[in-house]
Structure 1
Amino acid sequence: MAEDTPLIRSLRSAVEAAPADVPLRLHLAALLLDDGESDQAVTQIAAALQHEPGSAEARKLMLRAMGAPAPDTAPPPSPTDPPPVVSFDWASAEQQLSDTVQPRFVEPAAADGEDDPGEEPAWDIESSHVVLADVGGMTEVKKRLEAAFLAPMRNPELRRLYGKSLRGGLLLYGPPGCGKTFIARAVAGELGAKFLSVSLSDILDMYIGQSERNLHDVFAAARANAPCVVFLDEIDAVGGKRSSMRHNAMRGTVNQLLLELDGAQYDNDGVFVLAATNSPWDVDTALRRPGRLDRTLLVLPPDQEARESILRYHLRDRPIEGVELSKLAKKTDGWSGADLAHLCETAAEAALLDSAASGRVRMIGMPDLLAAAKEVRPSIESWFTAARNVAMFANEGGTYDELLAFLKRTRRL
């Protein structure tokens, strides 16, 4: 490539300073053509056409750059001749310039034809490989799940005999960090069903009516992949009490959720709905009537056996020695699974800092874990404070009898 002349260098600088100045850019392109730099000229002309697609001068320069005969070289037209028609293959030119500039017109991508405006979104539907045996401890929770939910689903002959429909709704509630999501995955694994986890961000949308459409699409995807477990996390955010809502948009979302759960318009056989919340008292009461989320399960902090399993899981890939899991589990009674994970992280951090300071790598020992147990504070006592008031003064119909019994048993009343 020949070295630019001073005039071309000046014009390049001027074009960089004013990229939307089409006459200036075309002047640069004409000089580049005169200088034999056709490729660079085409780049400048194409950029000019991006700003001014109807520019006759730009089209004339493009014809010249692409090797077509210039219009001014043709014989002068007769007054009786029809206007000349300049034929130029813009699609071919755009293809040649695809690495330089974007095409002027872009057709919608469609592999097998036009996109169907009613096509369902591609929700992330998983196959759960977790079963209840993978959930450490929580014996009472497993018994309740087996009796109220799993046994009828596993026995199709008995289900048909007793007229049990292949659908269901279960509300998991309890303090945060106690494994409600993990239990939902285990239920899907026990049923051999697909698993579709839905969060608040998947549903809510800034445009009116789109949140309801998103919710409908979730259930449509679940019906198409039945048997499928739909897990609605933080159900109080999507299905909160309509009486306390100030915005009609959120009320419409709750109404749509009620419609989808009813199955009046759609066949919900094979769709199992599991919902989780830390605040069941904030869930709309209509969601908890028979036929919707009609069964409730309290997921409490892990018991001794479950705490040992959780601690073993979070220490499995760390360098440890002399760790007594049973002793550590006893000292963490009333801790959530998230608290136990934080305990292991804190102990590992202390050992890491000590190793960095001494220059000698050492193992994580029981003293590190016990010191971390004194430093970390359980995070769920504030939840029990709020739950105690609800269980004592707002226990309509015995909804929170199980919670009330636990509070009495653990002397939190």
Structure 2
Amino acid sequence: MMKIRAESKTFEEIVSGTIVTEKPNIKLKDVAGLDAAKEFMKEAVILPSQFPHLFTGTRRSWRGILLYGPPGTGKTFLAKAVATEAKNTKFFYIISSDLVSMWLGESEKLVKTLFSMARENKPSIIFIDDLDSIFGFRSENESESGRRIKTEFLVQMQGVGNDQDGLLVIGATNMPWSLDSAILRRFEKRIYIPMPEAPARSLMFKLNLRSTPNSLTDEDFKQLGLKAEGYTGADVSIVVRDALMQSLHKVQTATHFRKVRGPSRDNPDEMVDDLLTPCSPGAPGAMEMNWTQVDGHKLLEPVVSMSDMLMSLQTQKATVNDDELKKHEEFTKDFGQEG
């Protein structure tokens, strides 16, 4: 009996590490585009968490939601935003590999403990990322441990003998067509998270730049959204990060600097006149020096320009191909709905 209790406590400690004790602090307004998916998630998750009395009797909240689409389109980001806005809800963030144990019999116990703890802490959201990595089609060549973990997951999702109210399972996958059909059925709603359209891409460029000093106009952001056709949210993020480095490259290659007025590093509200910025050799006040001779506190943060963004767009290519998109569209016609 003592051994069983100790083992149970060990599994609980493992699962406890997946509980996000601090909300991710991502709001739905931070998610660019995906208007239909956001409205559905409000209805399916946030509304029941705030008004549980509305979801009793025959009107029940959804038990399983599958978010699928190409990699980098914002499935995990959307789930974290929902977790932030769902009041008084415990959020269990699971990567599929968290449930796989090298010891025979432990994986299914981890699944059972996960669902048990989620029920004890209701209302709860279990979010499982990369669902396809362990819940693919069953086959004759599949390992015994693989079969066991799928069977336990199906039992727990079905909720036989357990109260499922207040428990939602959200799964995310880049390859929904590879999921076992029994697993797929447990997710009552299957929402396609598509590639972002031009307005959403424009907003993504803005959101990724945040407060970084830049000279881009609204028209520039609009043009970037149009030029980034075929880019995912993750692709746009990489383009912006590369552009940020492009602006730093000017500092590294500069042979001359000049003094300018700007915010103090020690006190951003205070303006000082002795900051340094790269310039051409013929600029007024140009001093011949390189970046190694500049005091760290005296360098003015370089401004990101449209040319930096365009250069990054040329070097950073889109990561999703047409064949992959066709597969998602075909799956949506057969099993899902547009998000």
TM range (shorter): 0.7 to 0.9
AA of the residue aligned to 2:67: L
Distance in 2 (alpha carbons) for counterparts of 1:224 and 1:244:
36
Pairing partner for 1:140 from 36, 44, 63: 36
Does 2:180 match 1:284?
Answer: yes
Listed as ranges, the matches of 1:9-158 within 5 Å are 116-119=6-9, 120-121=12-13, 122-126=16-20, 127-128=22-23, 129-147=25-43, 150-151=46-47, 154-158=50-54
AA of the residue aligned to 2:73: C
Structure 1 residues 333 and 172: alpha-carbon distance in aligned structure 2, compared to 1, 3 A threshold: same
Distance in 2 (alpha carbons) for counterparts of 1:400 and 1:156:
27
Does 2:232 match 1:232?
Answer: no
Q: Which has the higher strand share?
A: 2
Pairing partner for 2:334 from 398, 402, 411: 398
Partner of 1:186: 81
Pairing partner for 2:215 from 308, 311, 321: 321
Structure 1 residues 326 and 390: alpha-carbon distance in aligned structure 2, compared to 1, 3 A threshold: closer
AA of the residue aligned to 1:283: L
Distance in 2 (alpha carbons) for counterparts of 1:189 and 1:202:
22
Partner of 2:272: none
**Unmatched 5+ stretches in structure 1:** 1-114, 404-413
Deviation at 1:302, TM superposition (A): 2.3
Partner of 1:217: 113
What's the secondary structure of 1:249's corresponding residue? helix
Q: Return the structure number with greater relative CO, CA threshold 8 A, min gap 6.
A: 2
Q: Which has the higher helix share?
A: 1
Please list the CA deviations of residues 141-166 of structure 1 after superposition, one character each: whole Å capped at 9, or x if unmatched: 22333455554554434322x52335
* Identical counterparts, % of pairs: 29
Listed as ranges, the matches of 1:171-210 within 5 Å are 171-192=66-87, 193-210=89-106
Distance in 2 (alpha carbons) for counterparts of 1:336 and 1:389:
16
Partner of 2:304: 364
Distance in 1 (alpha carbons) for counterparts of 2:141 and 2:221:
47
CA contact (8 A) 2:90 2:123 kept: yes
CA contact (8 A) 2:67 2:190 kept: yes
Please identify the structure whose Cα radius of gyration is greater.
1
Does 2:207 match 1:269?
Answer: no
CA contact (8 A) 2:189 2:336 kept: no
Structure 1 residues 243 and 164: alpha-carbon distance in aligned structure 2, compared to 1, 3 A threshold: farther
CA contact (8 A) 1:391 1:401 kept: no
Please list the CA deviations of residues 214-233 of structure 1 after superposition, one character each: whole Å capped at 9, or x if unmatched: 11222122112111110000
AA of the residue aligned to 1:252: R
What is the TM-score when the length of structure 2 is the normalising length?
A: 0.75
Partner of 1:411: none
CA contact (8 A) 2:193 2:338 kept: no
Distance in 2 (alpha carbons) for counterparts of 1:188 and 1:316:
22
Structure 1 residues 178 and 259: alpha-carbon distance in aligned structure 2, compared to 1, 3 A threshold: same
Does 2:188 match 1:294?
Answer: yes
Pairing partner for 2:323 from 385, 388, 396: 385
Deviation at 1:174, TM superposition (A): 0.2
CA contact (8 A) 2:18 2:94 kept: no
Partner of 1:11: none
Distance in 2 (alpha carbons) for counterparts of 1:245 and 1:349:
48
Distance in 1 (alpha carbons) for counterparts of 2:200 and 2:157:
33
Please list the CA deviations of residues 336-386 of structure 1 after superposition, one character each: whole Å capped at 9, or x if unmatched: 1110111112222222223211144442211111121122111112xx413
CA contact (8 A) 1:241 1:284 kept: yes
Deviation at 1:397, TM superposition (A): 7.9
Distance in 1 (alpha carbons) for counterparts of 2:308 and 2:332:
46
Structure 1 residues 388 and 244: alpha-carbon distance in aligned structure 2, compared to 1, 3 A threshold: farther
Structure 1 residues 210 and 117: alpha-carbon distance in aligned structure 2, compared to 1, 3 A threshold: closer
Distance in 1 (alpha carbons) for counterparts of 2:81 and 2:337:
25
Coordinate RMSD, CA, aligned: 2.5
Does 2:195 match 1:259?
Answer: no
**Unmatched 5+ stretches in structure 2:** 258-277, 279-301
What's the secondary structure of 1:178's corresponding residue? coil
More deviation in 231-240 or 183-192?
183-192
Aligned length: 282
Distance in 2 (alpha carbons) for counterparts of 1:224 and 1:147:
24
Please list the CA deviations of residues 172-207 of structure 1 after superposition, one character each: whole Å capped at 9, or x if unmatched: 000101111111112223331121100123111111
